[in-house]
Structure 1
Amino acid sequence: MGTRTVLHEADISRALTRIAHEILESNRGAENLVLLGIPTRGVTLARRLGTLISGIAETDIPVGALDITLFRDDLSKHPTRSPHPTEIPAGGVDGRTVVLVDDVLFSGRSIRAALDAIQSIGRPSAVRLAILIDRGHRELPIRPDFIGKNIPSSREERVNVRLHEHDGAEGVTIEA
């Protein structure tokens, strides 16, 4: 069985560049756009996307972090989860298009928690979802708007996203 690499550093970079262009196209520009990453790697990916979009659109894109810990439905199973700080950019989310950013989409439960967390802080005009890896196996009716790569996997496999900022290496692997 073992581990196999499905994305290398250059693949991640290309996927993020494509997603940045897709976000701008979908939003018809950068106006009223806010990126919120879901800790931990989603925040890093949101920052990278913010830099890419800012470079393409030639304007600063607000980027923040959205902690979902207290909105999760599995807190009783994992009570030791420690919250991360929520950082909402100046101007908040009201009336803006919020793009949630995460590394892997699996069951959809983290995204449901993120939607609840957003509702607790404001009322965006729209919420979109950008995911680096969509591995399937949804338990909730959640679908990403922007996908880096679809990677079909079994429930028993583990998808690992490694980013330089957290892991000192970059790539996506699947462990059987």
Structure 2
Amino acid sequence: MSAHERIVLQDADIARALTRISHEILESNRGADNLVLLGIPTRGVTLATRIAQLIETFSGVAVETGALDVTMYRDDLHKNPTRAPRPTSIPDGGINGKTVVLIDDVLFSGRSIRAALDALQDIGRPSAVRLATLIDRGHRELPIRPDFVGKNLPSARDERVNVRLTETDGKDEVTIES
């Protein structure tokens, strides 16, 4: 952690936020039937797995999960260097006629989610698409609003929000870096 970085959520805060999101998804969907969770790599996939485990614990129903890489669907590839695309993995039952919950770690401009919606069109036709995000920073450039939010975290445009998860980073925390 750098000198200009402060912790805003710790492991217990993240666990509470994911528990709340899981309950809200179950309530909104009236149970876990016909539900698919698709995480946006990298940390969205980890969050989708955790939420699926919580939903199964609460409902007794296993929820299908997958990963939806949006790299090649982004409209800002020319401006931002990007990572190599990751594999997209859709559950064997597909997404047609199902409620798909897209899961990402941080919602900022909305461009990743717009790209995810475009990517979904190439995969199938869900009955509904919802959005869950651990952190909503604001600063939207597109008319996209999450259905399920772990924490609204107002931040300046030039600040960076870092989500660290045990599976990829060795610990659970969210920091703001100025």
TM-score (normalised: structure 2): 0.96
* Structure 2 partner of 1:159: 161
Question: Within 2, Cα distance between the matches of 1:85 and 1:57?
Answer: 29
Shift of residue 78, structure 1, vs aligned partner? 3.8
Question: Within 2, Cα distance between the matches of 1:3 and 1:83?
Answer: 29
Q: Give RMSD over aligned pairs.
A: 1.0
Specify the code of the residue in structure 2 equivalent to 1:65: A
Aligned mate of 1:93, from 88, 95, 98:
95
Could you list the runs of 4 or more consecutive aligned residues of structure 1 that deviate by over 3 angstroms after TM superposition? Answer: none
Q: Secondary structure at the match of 2:15?
A: helix
Question: Within 2, Cα distance between the matches of 1:81 and 1:104?
Answer: 17
Q: Is the 8 A contact 1:75 1:81 kept in 2?
A: no
Q: 1:15-34, aligned counterparts within 5 Å?
A: 15-34=17-36
Q: Secondary structure at the match of 1:35?
A: strand
Q: 1:71-90, aligned counterparts within 5 Å?
A: 71-78=73-80, 81-90=83-92
* Structure 1 partner of 2:69: 67
Specify the code of the residue in structure 2 equivalent to 1:91: G
Does 1:37 find its partner at 2:39? yes
Identity %: 72
Q: 1:112 to 1:2 in 2, by over 3 A?
A: same
Alignment gaps of 5+ in structure 1: none
Shift of residue 75, structure 1, vs aligned partner? 1.6
TM-score (normalised: structure 1): 0.98
Question: Within 2, Cα distance between the matches of 1:83 and 1:165?
Answer: 20
* Structure 2 partner of 1:138: 140
Question: Within 1, Cα distance between the matches of 2:16 and 2:145?
Answer: 21
Specify the code of the residue in structure 2 equivalent to 1:22: E
Question: Within 2, Cα distance between the matches of 1:133 and 1:157?
Answer: 14
Shift of residue 80, structure 1, vs aligned partner? 5.1
Alignment gaps of 5+ in structure 2: none
Shift of residue 64, structure 1, vs aligned partner? 0.3
Question: Within 1, Cα distance between the matches of 2:73 and 2:51?
Answer: 25
